[in-house]
Amino acid sequence: MNDKSTATKFDDTGVEVATQSIRESLTFRNAGIYYALMLIVAIFTWWSYSSSGIFYLNASNVENVLEQAATPVAIIAIGMTVLMVSGNFDLSVTSNAALSAMSIAIAIEHQWFDFLGSVEAAVVASLIFGIVVGSVAGLLNGLIHWYVGLNSFIVTLGSLTAYRGLTLLIANDASVDVRFRKELTEEQIANNDRETEEGVFLGDLIGDTIGDFNLLLLAGIGFLVAAGGMRISGQGKVPIRIAIAIGMLSIVSSVFVDYTTSISHKLVVLVALLIITWAFMTFTAPGLHLYAVGGNLEASKAAGINVALYRIVPFVFVGFCCGLAAVTYIAEQKNIEPNLWFGRELWVIASCIIGGVSLTGGSGKVMKSMAGALLLYTLLNGFQINRVSPALQDTSIGVLIVASAAAYVVAERRAAAKGKI
């Protein structure tokens, strides 16, 4: 096979289905989300500089977009992608995340885990408790869906309201303080330091960031890791060489260009979750079975796959992601509102749809969903910098969601008509 013109084609389950030209791999159907993201970034770069003299792609703003997207939308979108691939979706995700965050806040406020003997241990236990709450809430959705036989839309529409109501109930319809008291050290006592009545918050315990890093260096390392992943998954040499070239160029550029900004804990959590989920979906048998169950439930049953497991566990995973989003958010806050993230569940689903995840199951990739989340928040950030009215912002994002879904449908139909899928 000539690597200059063709590459091995894999469908979303990782199964080799045909040979695919490099030109086809760069079509809108396969790479449209990345083209759209690059186009929007280019437009805002030109718009911001020409109207305000602001360089849109400065390191601080790039980090700001990543921060905005990470919690809760991008983190939960990873779990939502897995769930949608299995053939379901969850409308209750941000209500679940708010419930998880409020559970952590209540545990800290009422000192449920102080018996562990130290502030640090109590805080860690509270954070783990929040993740467990999110996972259990997801499990309840999955059990009701599978064993009662209700459509996931109906189940999660009900739990959306139920989880939000439960959040209001345990918070007594008021914000909850997540600051905690911390004992003074002997040195502080000697200096006559005193605790304030307001105490300290989680960020004082774990720190606000992990440090300052050059984004070009991180991007270069990311492309090299991606190249390694493409090689392991059996993709053609040309895409791998392109990824390596971009990675090396970014690393070399980082030596000469100061593109440094702070990196928060939530970005580390987001990247780690993304890589682990991508590897699971791409290289493991359970990941491939998940695609099979979402694509054809009856055929999966006939093949001996435990379809109940692959229908229920994705609900648990998206609940886990809700709890994880709550953890990354609450560490930076001093109090939690019960209406936290109200309405943001639609942004999570929109990120997946813009990234090309099928609403009927069996198709979708977490990397594209991540690009979808970044695209949404790039739009939001760019509009805010250029002072576009909120009404026009909402209208533009709504049009984008519908247009993206329509474009993918048209692209799929054309590919099917040509016998390419």
User: What total of structural domains would you count in the chain?
Assistant: 1
Q: What is the pLDDT of residue 220?
A: 87
Q: What is the pLDDT of residue 1?
A: 39
Q: What is the pLDDT of residue 364?
A: 86
Q: What is the pLDDT of residues 74-118, one digit of tens each?
A: 999 999 999 999 999 899 999 999 999 999 989 888 888 888 877
**Residue 261 to residue 70: CA distance in whole angstroms:** 16
Look up the pTM and report it: 0.86
Q: Which residues contact 96 (CB under 8 A, 6 or more apart)?
A: 90, 134, 137, 138, 159, 163, 319, 322, 323
Q: What is the pLDDT of residue 398?
A: 82
> Is 95 within the bounds of a domain?
yes
Return the number of other C-beta atoms located less than 10 Å from residue 39's C-beta.
11
Q: List the domain range (segments joined by +) for residue 322.
A: 6-417
Q: Which residues of the chain have pLDDT under 50?
A: 1-20, 184, 189, 195-198
> Is 118 within the bounds of a domain?
yes
Q: What is the DSSP pairing of strand 6-10 with strand 16-21?
A: antiparallel
> Is 1 within the bounds of a domain?
no
> Is 197 within the bounds of a domain?
yes
Per the CB < 8 A criterion, the answer to whether 176 and 102 are in contact is yes
Per the CB < 8 A criterion, the answer to whether 56 and 382 are in contact is yes
Q: What is the pLDDT of residue 361?
A: 83
Q: What is the pLDDT of residue 366?
A: 92
